Amino acid sequence: MSSPAVFVAVILVFASLFSPSLSQICSSQQFTNNKVYARCSDLPVLKSFLHWTYDAANSTLSVAFVAPPDKPDGWIAWAINPNAPGMVGAQTLFAFKNSKGEMVVKTYDISSYSSIMESSKLWFDVKETAAEFSGGMMRLFATLVLPEKGKTTLNHVWQVGPSVTDGFPAKHGFQPANLNSKGTFDLLSGESKSSASGDSRVTRKNIHGILNAISWGFLFPVGIIIARYMRTFKSADPAWFYLHISCQCSAYVIGVAGWATGLKLGSESKGITYDVHRNIGIALFCLATLQVFALLLRPKKDHKYRFYWNIYHHGVGYTMLILSLVNVFKGLDILDPATKWRSAYIGILVVLGVIALLLEVVTWIVVLKRKSNKTTKPYDG
């Protein structure tokens, strides 16, 4: 019998540590001014939401943009770009706290990446603005008069930042989520699309994340569950061993593919590095390769070195389990997908943890019963 339920503890601890605090959707949000909007959209990055009502007759657009700033003293921004998707040319509304701690809204015309930001008049008229901050979320309210009557498809950009200096928003981050916070939306249908710019790279990042989530984040833990609990039952021998090997070898092959795509993405991202995520990935690859080769040196059950081989094998395996879960969540932080994907993965981990906990109880009952009968010693797979 190996050490107590390490797997169970690891799964449940990580699920609780990394559970998102902002697990909501736009349709569930309510505003303190009791304002109700005709449509809303869960924006694909930065955990942001957009609510709006369009009055075609008057060409007015009432919006509420909701997002968590990088820090409590940070800022949020939403913009319409009349020329193209992207920051340059964006007619921007910024919400942040002023020196008195009051929420204010300022307007900026972002004419270039290098220009000094100054509050200015926008392409559209702004009839009224307001902002508030509570529960870790900033909310920006505005009513706009669109100059091009009848135009219902708009380019928009949204962003969050860490701080405000002398009344001016500081630079935002340059994570993938920050760079991909742009797209188009239709005022009438509510259809929203992310910008096509960089879609190929985003797709490869998603493939990298999916491969590693399936391999290190799912198949590898399942393989551990099989090895730890199925071998307790004599009727499962040697089926448990072949199932365990199948899971771990599949995890290794898929994981190596994900690791390789990560290296390729890293080589193409000059100036953008994720040291912790990369180093853990390299460590996982090395340890997994070591485990594969160790399988070839696996002593027989009655060999005098089998005990030491078991210590090595279990120790490396549980170390990989911890590193795998840490790195999957590191990857989620980098990709910053919609909250539902993180929630779905946490749900999978919780299910695996509950299954492992139940099997742990059953395993101990079986082993203790065998010991009490004094007929056979606990089965050693």
pLDDT attached to residue 19: 44
- Binding-site residues, please? 208, 244, 277, 313
For the stretch 131-140, pLDDT in tens is 999 989 999 9
| Across 331-340, 352-361, 369-378, least confident range | 369-378
- Binding-site residues for heme b, please? 208, 244, 277, 313
Which residues neighbour 346 within 8 Å (Cβ) at sequence distance 6 or greater?
Answer: 15, 18, 19, 20
Does the pLDDT of residue 196 top 80, yes or no? Answer: no
Taking the C-alpha atoms of residue 201 and residue 265, their distance in angstroms, rounded to an integer, is 8
Q: What amino acid is encoded at 1 in this protein?
A: M
pLDDT attached to residue 13: 47
Mean pLDDT of 140-160: 87
Q: What does pTM read for this prediction?
A: 0.51
- Tell me the CA distances in angstroms from 127 to 14, 52, 56, 61, one per residue in order: 47, 15, 16, 10
Does the pLDDT of residue 374 top 70, yes or no? Answer: no
Strands 75-81 and 90-97, sheet pairing: antiparallel
Q: How far apart are the first and last CA of the chain?
A: 9
Query: For the chain, what percent of residues have pLDDT higher than 90?
Result: 30
Query: What CATH topology corresponds to 199-375?
Result: Four Helix Bundle (Hemerythrin (Met), subunit A) (1.20.120)
| Across 10-19, 237-246, 344-353, least confident range | 10-19
Domain 26-194 is found in CATH 2.60.40.1210: yes
pLDDT attached to residue 270: 53
CATH 1.20.120.1770 domain span(s) along the chain: 199-375
Which residues neighbour 361 within 8 Å (Cβ) at sequence distance 6 or greater?
Answer: none
| Across 233-242, 292-301, 367-376, least confident range | 367-376
CATH 2.60.40.1210 domain span(s) along the chain: 26-194
